[in-house]
Structure 1
Amino acid sequence: MTESAVELPGPGGAISASVFAPAEASEALPGILLIHSGAFVGGSTASVRGQAIDLCREVGAVVVAVEYRLAPEHPYPAAVEDCDAAWQWLSTPAGGVNVDPSRLAIHGTSAGGALAIAVALRTRDRGGIAPRMLFLNSPELDDRRFSASMAKFVDTPGFTARDAEISWRLYLGDITPGSDAVPADAAPARAENLRGLPPTYLALMEFDPLRDEGLAFAGKLLADDVPLELHLFPGTFHGSSALAHAEVSRRELDEEVAVLRRALSGGSRS
């Protein structure tokens, strides 16, 4: 495996990214755009380096982890624009990465899940190269924060209802959370039309304030005929897979690899 640092062209200037590639590949490989978590205000490519290495090795894919701009210094839409630019770089020959454009996935966790959906929506609307799969883990989707799980899990490990309130306020900047001015590519729960999005895998955690907005989004995907695989992992909380030796964490991580490997196997879609 090789690891390299690259700079991609972006609307706000150069975007840093880390590229992980299987060694000595003689043919175009599957590719994964990996969008890190961090409540829109934290995280980095360094925070997902271990995950990127595992996905590269286990899935046999080129993994591009993008260092998108963070709030509050760079509120919406900076992060969406950076992730979208990274997707366009990865999915077109001009990017210079040896990937098969018909075997690409976008992977996002927590705030990265919202950004992954935003990229997929923008790609659909402009008729760009669509990912074969959207992989979402505990996505942060709704600035309105009115779900039952958000009201119930106010002090859970990993992420709390208060964390969600702060996250949306800092990310949206001059846009008031909960107002009609919040666009769908900032808070994907507001999207009225999900038709045409790629097949989606959605992992949710039982004791997570974000759980029920994820379930509501799953219902919207199904209503709009988007192929969906949904898994609610019992006894888990937001980010609990960091406890990697727990049996449920091993199942979660094993399934991540299996799902992506299956989705990205084979040749071009007919």
Structure 2
Amino acid sequence: MDPELSALIEEEASSPIDLGTLPQSRAVMAESIGVWFPPPPDGVEIVERMIPGPAGAPDVRVVITRAKGSGNGGPAFLHIHGGGYVMGSPEINLAIDAAYALELGATVVSVGYRLAPETPHPGPLEDCYAALSWLNAEAEALGADRGRIVVTGESAGGGLAAALVLLARDRGEISIAFQHLVYPMLDDRTAVCAEPSPYLGQFVWTQTNNFFGWTSLLGRPPGGTDVSAYAAAARADNVEGLPPTFIACGALDLFLLENMDYARRLMLAGVPTELHIYPGAPHGFDLVDTAQVARAYIRDSMSALKRAVGD
């Protein structure tokens, strides 16, 4: 463990999440906004909107972040928050959304998808697709370039981002320029691994929590033979034709092996792929933004995004 990340382990104890503790876990995450998830800096405007949801489903809440006085034509980001598919909100994204807006000139749409277990797959993914469709349709009105759409997410948000990119490829309605996956939750089979590594998943997001998250999303225990790739992107038989990809993960993260394998498969399919593994780093390590390893990730992430969608 990187000693600079000790505060993350001390404050973010890996307490088990289940149906009984989920309300408290959601409340704790909400209360951490402003602490682990800092408020956005000055210089951005933030607008909340309700947009049409999937057919027969409720409207979807989105939070739009732009630099004040920004001109037209910057990249368009769809940001999908983390939380194990069972927690979280767009508000935990505000600081990084502001960084994307200020440093990249992006218009960022952060989507408040419905959470499991109340809404299992495909509800959360279809909410994200509805937000992507809206962003694509409204890009000009938002002052964004629909030719430079980035789909990004962390943890479960990264899993939804990867699944959304697969869905967009297969539906053929929207072009995505880049996918940006931060320790993405890609493979339900990790939750039923018979012999997990003693070095992975010991902090922040554990095997127990992973099993609950996947069970909640799928509506049944993970690891079955018929799980859709639109629920768990690692299940995709074909990853050809996906957009250029950035994947980042800590070396102590439970998702390490599934992230490395997905990157390997993308490369073998001819998808330009950039993979970064950060030593001594557990899940969520970038929340300690004063740590050198977190600063290295932020540098690598922004560099990749600038090369992908910069002017």
State whether TM-score is above 0.5: yes
Deviation of 1:207 after TM superposition, in Å, equals: 0.3
Instruction: Report the Cα distance in structure 2 between the residues aligned to 1:210 and 1:90, rounded to whole angstroms.
Output: 29
Separation in structure 2 between the aligned mates of residue 101 and residue 82 of structure 1, nearest angstrom:
19
Is residue 235 of structure 2 the alignment partner of residue 190 of structure 1? yes
Q: Which residue of 2 aligns with 1:102?
A: 147
Match of 1:165 among 208, 211, 214: 211
Comparing 257-266 with 72-81, greater Cα deviation is found at 257-266
In structure 2, what is the Cα distance between the partners aligned to 1:8 and 1:252?
Answer: 33
Percent same amino acid among aligned pairs? Answer: 36
Task: Judge conservation of contact 1:35–1:116 (CA < 8 Å) in 2.
Answer: yes
- Whether the 8 Å contact between 2:79 and 2:151 is mirrored in structure 1 is yes
Tell me the equivalent position of 1:199: 244
- Counterpart amino acid of residue 215 in structure 1: M
- CA contact under 8 A between 1:153 and 1:161: conserved in structure 2? no
TM-score (norm 1): 0.93
CA contact (8 A) 1:3 1:19 kept: yes
Match of 1:4 among 44, 47, 53: 47
SS in 2 for 1:65: strand
Say if 2:157 and 2:184, in contact at 8 Å, map to a contact too.
yes
- 1:132 aligned residue: 177
Normalized against structure 2, the TM-score is what? 0.81
Alignment partners' CA distance in 1, 2:200 and 2:207: 5
Report how far residue 27 of structure 1 moved: 2.2
- 1:96 is aligned with what amino acid? A
Q: 1:155 to 1:219 in 2, by over 3 A?
A: closer
SS in 2 for 1:123: helix
The root-mean-square deviation of aligned C-alpha atoms, in Å, is 1.7
SS in structure 2 at match of 1:236: coil
- The 3-state SS of whatever aligns with 2:251 is strand
Contact 1:103–1:131 (CA under 8 A) maintained in structure 2: yes
The superposition leaves residues 141-168 of structure 1 with CA deviations (integer Å, 9 ceiling, x where unpaired) of 1111166994434662221111111111
1:86-97 matches, within 5 Å, as 86-93=131-138, 96-97=141-142
Structure 1 residues without counterparts, runs of 5 or longer: none
| Distance in 2, Cα, partners of 1:186 & 1:13 | 20
CA shift, 1:255, in A, is 1.9
Q: Relative to 1, partners in 2 of residues 1:150 and 1:109: Cα closer, same or farther, differing over 3 Å? A: farther
- Secondary structure of the 1:125 match is helix
Q: Shift of the alpha carbon at 1:58?
A: 1.6
Aligned to 1:24: 69
